[in-house]
Amino acid sequence: MALSRLASSSSGSNLLRPFASALSLTPSLRRPISSAADDSTTLTIETSLPFTSHNCEPPSRTLETTPKELMTFFRDMALMRRMEIAADSLYKAKLIRGFCHLYDGQEAVAIGMEAAITKKDCIITAYRDHCTFLGRGGTLLQVFAELMGRQAGSSKGKGGSMHFYKKDAGFYGGHGIVGAQIPLGCGLAFGQKYSKDETVTFALYGDGAANQGQLFEALNISALWDLPAILVCENNHYGMGTAEWRAAKSPAYYKRGDYVPGLKVDGMDVFAVKQACKFAKEHALKNGPIILEMDTYRYHGHSMSDPGSTYRTRDEISGVRQERDPIDRIRKLIFAHDLANEKDLKDIEKEVRKEVDEAIAQAKESPMPEPSELFTNIYVKGYGTESFGPDRKEIRTVLP
């Protein structure tokens, strides 16, 4: 299977890694923290693994955090996890139709990235976009309403799972064509450099899109013009049902830029992601593009039509859950610092479940889009364009 091939390959990523390295604390920091609410307390921790770099000096593994940030990371990732599990149930109940790609297992990438940047920075991604939208400030109601094709959705119910959008927070989608968002992201970075606003664009894509020609074309011109573009390969090790080693002669995606620096990151460690994204932003503003390869894993199949168990073993999936789960890593850090007990975290998970259930109930109450919405955002307004029936004898509507 793919796991054994990856584990035996010198260039492949080990999918399973022990939790012990995620709890690399100096002895003095093993003392209990008096109160999780004491935000003035600074905790010094190490990332689970060293960064592997290409044509650049890697950032430090050591970073600082606070009790508040740890608890926030736990809650936010638990919320994303619950949201995606609920989407699975809604899809099976046929309340969500069409394509639906879930993000559970990869939450650390979305959360760590947001922790390192601002809403003035831009993010553009592929179709596995629910959690990225939520991280950009979207609401649960907008998520579930969009998934169910309702007016309260982020795209007014017309985009569905693959086309979330939030321009006011620098989130530009949600794209269904494999790899097509990468040159768009580099275009956003061009606009940022032209405006001299000291912001960057994160263009996310999967390992399945990493062999696309448009990636290399966009990267070339970004490097020529020193654009503040950060290309993020979310390497979950399977492009649909194809293991990376079957699709890529060189699966070291962080090196794919050749003349562009790269960094390999443990994408299941939220602090490693945060540190890498902070480093990448500083680099891109001074020197131009950089590639980040996030070594992560999805628990669901490629989409809801894929059971996810025909090209990998159930033991592989459960092994990653036990050894590398991003939420459990934060849970262990919280316990190690005595910031909360098991009951406290279970209470948070109950609150999260309630929030998700309430949002679903509200989304179900939202009406379907009006038929006239089929024509909005397509034609220029104010020209009185007419829409006819199939025989062109009956005018169905005059567009605004």
Give dist(CA 171, CA 159) in Å, integer. 14
Assess contact for 258 and 41: CB atoms under 8 A: no
Q: Using alpha carbons only, how large is the chain's radius of gyration in Å?
A: 22
- pLDDT, averaged per 10 consecutive residues of the chain (400 residues), comes to 41 51 39 47 96 98 97 98 98 97 98 98 98 98 98 96 97 96 98 97 97 97 98 97 95 96 98 98 98 98 95 96 98 97 98 98 96 78 72 67
**Secondary structure string (H, E, C) spanning 57-90:** CCCCCEEEECHHHHHHHHHHHHHHHHHHHHHHHH
- Token pair belonging to 263: 């960094």
Count of residues making up the chain: 400
DSSP string covering 327-363? HHHHHHHHHHTTS--HHHHHHHHHHHHHHHHHHHHHH
- Supply the pTM of this predicted model: 0.88
pLDDT recorded at residue 36: 45
Q: What does residue 104 show for φ and ψ, rounded to 5 degrees? A: -60, 130
pLDDT recorded at residue 7: 41
DSSP state of 380: P
Helix 342-365 / helix 67-92 crossing angle, nearest 10 deg: 40
Helix 326-336 / helix 107-116 crossing angle, nearest 10 deg: 60
pLDDT recorded at residue 19: 46
Assess contact for 23 and 1: CB atoms under 8 A: no
Give the residue ranges of DSSP H helices in the chain.
Answer: 2-8, 67-92, 107-116, 130-135, 140-147, 181-195, 213-224, 244-247, 270-287, 314-324, 326-336, 342-365
